[in-house]
Amino acid sequence: MPAARSLTLEETARLGKEIYERLVLPKMQPSDKGKVVAIDVKSEAWVLDETGISAAQKLTIEHPDAEVWLERVGYATYHRMGGHSRRSSP
């Protein structure tokens, strides 16, 4: 059974985006575009993989109580609900 959240969704999003910009994005290569980063906003640990599910699974093996935030490398959003996703640089 997953642990109870200690952060609000808004706090998780704010921290996840900040960690992504500060720690993850500088290490990304053009070949990483489209891959997904799972970030534990509590420990600042992160995993890069082909899908969000596989990245989150790998992260939670090492950090079972992780509060996970997902980012897609090179895109403004992780997932879209319709329309077109906007691309950004990796």
Q: How many other CB atoms are there within 10 angstroms of residue 78's CB atom? A: 14
Helices (H) and strands (E) in the chain, counts: 2, 3
CB burial readout 7-42, b (16+ within 10 A) else e = eeeeebeebbeebbeeebbeebeeebeebbbbbbbe
Judge contact between 55 and 49, C-beta under 8 A. yes
User: pLDDT tens digits for 18-57?
Assistant: 999 999 999 999 999 999 999 999 999 999 999 999 999 9
pTM assigned to the model:
0.81
Q: Does position 82 have pLDDT exceeding 70, yes or no?
A: no
Q: Which residue ranges make up each domain of the chain?
A: 9-72
